[in-house]
Each structure stands twice: as structure tokens, then as C-alpha cells.
Structure 1
Amino acid sequence: MWREVAGRAYGAAEFGEPVTAADVTAAEQRLGCSLPTALAGLLRETDGVVGQYGVDTVWPLERIVEDNLRFWSDRSFADLYMPFDALLFFGDNGGGDQFAFVRRPARADVFVWEHEDDSRRWVARDLEDYLGRSLADDSGDSGDWFR
């Protein structure tokens, strides 16, 4: 299903090898929280989605785990940004802005964190909407579809 969703938005999307249910369970244990159902399903079908300009529209599972653990624990971020512990990052725009689900309270909506000003705002109603919007971007400016 997820490959078809991505392919409809951008026919040249690239896909990783699927992860196993055991991989998802191990990742959730490391993170200390469940992945959103849609994201876990996508990862079991393809371990990440690469869109236009080589942008990691959806990160591979290992990067999701490592980047979130770093964002939640790196004390140096506390001096620069609001806390990240309510967010679960899963993709980026290739220019530093990152996309996330809200963990608490859990929501299907996707938000962008803009690194220049530490703003966080809604960009898509769910993962399918996010893939459609982000992969279909033909603005010529990598990853600016949400502005």
C-alpha cells in the first residue's frame, strides 16, 4: 500500500528493504514508546522513502531511533530549542527542517519543526497526506512544499 501511495505522488521514489515486526518491536523498546501504526506499517513495507533531490522523506527505522534518542536527550539542545520529547521525528526536507508525529497526546497529524526559528506547525492530516504533499512537490526548491 505505502509504495503505491508514494509512487502515485512521485513515480521515481526510492524504497528501502522492509523491516520485520521484530525490528519494529526492538525499536519501540529502545524508544520507550510505540511507533504510530501507519509509520510502523510503512516501515514493514519499505525501510524509508527517498523522494525528489534525494530527500529522506521517511527515514529508515534505525535513523528514526537514533535521531529521536539524540533529540530527546542532548542537553545542548535545551539551550537552543523548546523540548522535543513530545515529538517523534521520521523525515526531513533536506534543508534542516524535520517532520514529526506528536507522541503525547498521540495524533495522526504530521508537524514540521523548522530549525531556523524552532517553530512547530501542522502540515498534513496523516502519513498518507504527508507523502502525497511532500513527494509531489515540484516547486524546484527542495523541500519547501510546506511553506
Structure 2
Amino acid sequence: MWRELASEFPDVELQGPADPDALTAVEEQLGQTLPGPLRELLLETDGIEADFGTETVWTAEKILEENSSFRSNEQFRSLYMPFDALMFFGDNGGGDQFAFVRTPDRDEIFVWDHETDSRTWVAPSLENYLRSALGSDGDDWYR
């Protein structure tokens, strides 16, 4: 399903499927389950790259790396609200990042604005997020 959806858009690069063990490692190390739709997508393609290298959906490895970094960065703790309730999974190529809320579990997508530390609802589902992000002409389609 996810590969077919992404292939509707030009210039989208898909990867091979993520290793299920990598997904388990993400969940264990972050202490949160992957949202069902994100898990399904990663099992079909380990990331989706759009125009100009924008990582609309990160690889499982990058999801783990970025979330771990955000949660452990001492400087971020003094600058931003906590990130523990979020699971970042993609970005706009300009610094803003997209996330699922994991506490409480929600399937909606939010954007974190790196300049203001705001967290704003942008899509009711991963499918809607992908259609909006991949079908847009710019990196700030959600504003």
C-alpha cells in the first residue's frame, strides 16, 4: 500500500524494506511502540525521500538516532519543551520535523517548529501527511 501511494508522486525515492529487528530496536531503545502505520510503511520501504533529498520519512536507523539525540541533548533540555512524548520520523529539509505523539498514543501527525518550539497538528493520519508532503510544491506546505 505505502509503496503504491508514494509512487503516485514524481521524483520519490524508495528504499528496500526495513529489517524487523531494526524496528524492534527502535521500540526497545526509545521505550515506545512505533505507530502501526509507520511500522507498516517501514516494512515496505525503509524511508521515503522526496524532491531535493527531503527525507519525508526517515529510515528506522535515523528515527532511532534522531529521537535518541533529541531526548539526551542537555542543551535542548534548557531550550525546548521535552521531546519524550514525541516520535520524530521525518523532516521538511529546513529544520522542522514531523512526529507522532506517543504519550498518549495518537495516529495524527504534528510538526515541531525548530525556531519557536511549537508543536502543531498538521495531518489526521500518515497517509494524509504523505499525500500533502509529497504533493506539495514547497517545504512549508503545512503552514
Same fold (TM over 0.5): yes
Distance 2:24 2:94 in 1: 30
Distance 2:2 2:63 in 1: 18
Q: Which residue of 2 aligns with 1:119?
A: 118
Distance 2:70 2:58 in 1: 15
- Report how many residues are paired: 143
Q: Which residue of 2 aligns with 1:36?
A: 35
Q: Which residue of 1 aligns with 2:4?
A: 4
Deviations for 1:24-71, whole angstroms, at most 9, x for unmatched residues? Answer: 112211111110011011111000000122100000100000110111
TM-score, with structure 2 as normaliser:
0.96
Moved more, 95-104 or 10-19: 10-19
Q: Which residue of 2 aligns with 1:128?
A: 127
- Structure 1 residue 3: deviation in Å? 1.0
Report percent identity of matched pairs: 54
Distance 2:63 2:30 in 1: 9
Please identify runs of 4+ aligned residues in structure 1 that moved more than 3 A: none
SS of the counterpart of 1:109?
strand
Higher relative contact order (CA 8 A, sep 6+): 1
Q: Which residue of 2 aligns with 1:88?
A: 87
Q: Which residue of 1 aligns with 2:48?
A: 49
Distance 1:25 1:116 in 2: 32
Give the aligned residue type for 1:146.
Y
- Structure 1 residue 135: deviation in Å? 0.3
Give the aligned residue type for 1:49.
I
Distance 2:44 2:102 in 1: 22
- Structure 1 residue 22: deviation in Å? 2.2
Distance 2:31 2:71 in 1: 11
Gaps of 5+ in 2: none
Q: How does 1:10-29 map to 2 (within 5 A)?
A: 10-29=9-28
Q: Which residue of 1 aligns with 2:72?
A: 73
The yes-or-no answer on 1:145 pairing with 2:141 is yes
- Structure 1 residue 21: deviation in Å? 2.0
Gaps of 5+ in 1: none
Backbone CA RMSD of aligned residues: 1.0
